[in-house]
Amino acid sequence: MTEPSVHLTINGRSMAIAGVPPEERLLDTLRWRLGLKGTKEGCRTGGCGACTVLRDDRPALSCLTLTHDAEGTSITTIEGLEGDPVGEKVRAAFDAAGALQCGYCTPGFVMALTGLLREGGSSIPLGELLEDLGGNLCRCTGYAAIVRAVRSAREALA
């Protein structure tokens, strides 16, 4: 029996993805079917944030989202931020602050922060932004550069 197609908009492009088993995670669909390797796999349990994408402009963990459950939604990956005003400011802030170290966690942080700033802009208090990013983990750094990047991205939107 052939698996049903899933209809998604990925990085602004509408598509029907055929043959997706019901148990396939969005993370696997993005990385292995579509070749969007910017979305990283860290823990597979939703505990690290490396797989964060935007689902209808809100941060979502792609390792905990079944592809079929995302039917009809819009998904933005790190590859889809090019030309996005908020995403570009967040990426530039991470670069300027040196908040990239090994880079594995960076796409998840960038996507989560982009979603949060799209939703609330620079009016979100810094402490609240940092608290909301608490589910994103970095195993290489003491977070000082990431905090500088968050502060800078927030100020760039003011």
Per the CB < 8 A criterion, the answer to whether 63 and 27 are in contact is: yes
pLDDT tier at 2 (50, 70, 90 boundaries)? confident
- CA distance between the termini of the chain: 54
pLDDT tier at 137 (50, 70, 90 boundaries)? very high
For residue 158, the model assigns a pLDDT of 86
What are 117-132's pLDDT values in tens digits? 999 888 999 999 999 9
Q: Where in the chain is the domain with CATH 1.10.150.120?
A: 81-156
CATH architecture of 81-156: Orthogonal Bundle (1.10)
Mean pLDDT of the chain: 94
For residue 1, the model assigns a pLDDT of 61
Residue 30: pLDDT above 90? yes
Q: Mean of the pLDDT values across residues 92-116?
A: 94
Per the CB < 8 A criterion, the answer to whether 110 and 78 are in contact is: yes
CATH topology of domain 6-80: Ubiquitin-like (UB roll) (3.10.20)
Please choose, from the candidates 57, 83, 71, the residue with its C-alpha nearest in 3D space to the C-alpha of residue 15.
71
Percent with pLDDT over 70 in the chain: 99
What are 54-94's pLDDT values in tens digits? 999 999 999 999 999 999 999 999 999 999 999 999 999 99
The first and second tokens of residue 2, run together, are 């052939």
Per the CB < 8 A criterion, the answer to whether 22 and 12 are in contact is: no
* Residue type present at position 83: G
Q: Where in the chain is the domain with CATH 3.10.20.30?
A: 6-80
Residue 141: pLDDT above 80? no
Residue 31: pLDDT above 80? yes
94: burial class by Cβ within 10 Å (0-12, 13-18, 19+)? buried
**β-pair partners for 58:** 55
Per the CB < 8 A criterion, the answer to whether 27 and 88 are in contact is: no
β-strands 52-55, 13-17 pairing: unpaired
Q: Mean of the pLDDT values across residues 105-128?
A: 94
pTM higher than 0.85, yes or no? yes
